[in-house]
Structure 1
C-alpha cells in the first residue's frame, strides 16, 4: 500500500468484561483511499493473529457524537466524564464491548477525511476494476 493513500494508527483499547472490569489491549485502525468507505480495525488479543473487523467510516464518524449502528456494530460516546467511545461488536462467536480513546480516534478520522473528503468516496473507486474483480470471482 502506498503510504500517501493510507492512514493508520494504534490505539490502546479496554475490553469490558462481564464484571465491568476492563482488560487493556492494542488495536490498529487503517484506512485506504482504495477502499474509501471502509475502516479496518485489527484487535491484538494475545499471540494469535489479530481479529479484524471492517466497518463503515461513517459509522465511526457519527458514533463520536451519538449512538449509531444496528446489528453487528454499535458505536456511541460514553456520555459520562471522559474521552471514551464505546464500541460494541457482535458475532456468532460472541459479543464484546470496547472502550476506545475518543480523541485519538477522532484525530484518526480527521486524517481519513483529509485523504478522502466525506461525500467524495465514489471518486476514489475504479468501478471497471471492481466489476472485473467481481466477475472474475464468479
Structure 2
C-alpha cells in the first residue's frame, strides 16, 4: 500500500494521508499536531494514533494507526521523511500562525457568501 502525506495552507491545522489501494485513492484527514507530537511519543486517542519506533535511530519508523468503523489500519512511515514533510509544512504555515490563515480564509468565504446573498432570486408560490 502506498501512502502520500499532503498539506494545504488553506487548511493549516490538518494533513492528509492519501492511500493507493488497488488503483483507487482514499484519504484520511487529521490534525497536523498529531504528526508533530507523534514524532517523539505516542499521541491520539480517537480515530488516529501516531507513535515513533524506539529507540530513535536515523532510519526509524513512525506508525500511523487509523480506526474507521470498519476496522483498523496501521501504516509504517520513514520518520526522517515525515520530519522533512513537517518542516516544509511549518515553512508554509508556521505553528501558532494557523489562526491567521484560517481567519483570512473565513473572511474570503464570508465575502463570497455576502455576494451570493444579494441575488434577487424569485419567490415560488
Could you say whether these structures have the same fold, taking a TM-score greater than 0.5 normalized by the shorter chain as the test? Answer: yes
Aligned partner of residue 44 in structure 1, secondary structure: strand
Q: Tell me how far apart the structure 2 counterparts of residues 78 and 106 of structure 1 sit (CA, whole Å).
A: 14
Deviations 1:80-138 (CA, angstroms, capped at 9, x unpaired): 4651001111011110111111000110001000111100011112223445789x9xx
Are 2:97 and 1:120 aligned? Answer: yes
Q: Which runs of 5+ in 2 are unaligned?
A: 117-125
Q: Which runs of 5+ in 1 are unaligned?
A: 1-24
Q: Which structure has more RCO (C-alpha within 8 Å, separation ≥ 6)? A: 1
Are 2:22 and 1:46 aligned? Answer: yes
State which of 23, 26, 30 in structure 2 corresponds to 1:55.
Answer: 30
Question: Which is helix-richer, 1 or 2?
Answer: 2
Q: Tell me how far apart the structure 1 counterparts of residues 16 and 112 of structure 2 sit (CA, whole Å).
A: 20
Q: Show the counterpart of 1:96.
A: 73
Q: Tell me how far apart the structure 2 counterparts of residues 63 and 130 of structure 1 sit (CA, whole Å).
A: 33
Aligned partner of residue 72 in structure 2, secondary structure: strand
**RMSD over aligned Cα, in angstroms?**
2.1
TM superposition shift of 1:64 = 0.3
Which structure has the greater CA radius of gyration?
Answer: 2
TM-score w.r.t. the length of structure 2 is: 0.80
1:1-20 correspondence runs (5 A): none
State the number of aligned residues.
111
State which of 46, 67, 71 in structure 1 corresponds to 2:42.
Answer: 67
TM-score w.r.t. the length of structure 1 is: 0.73
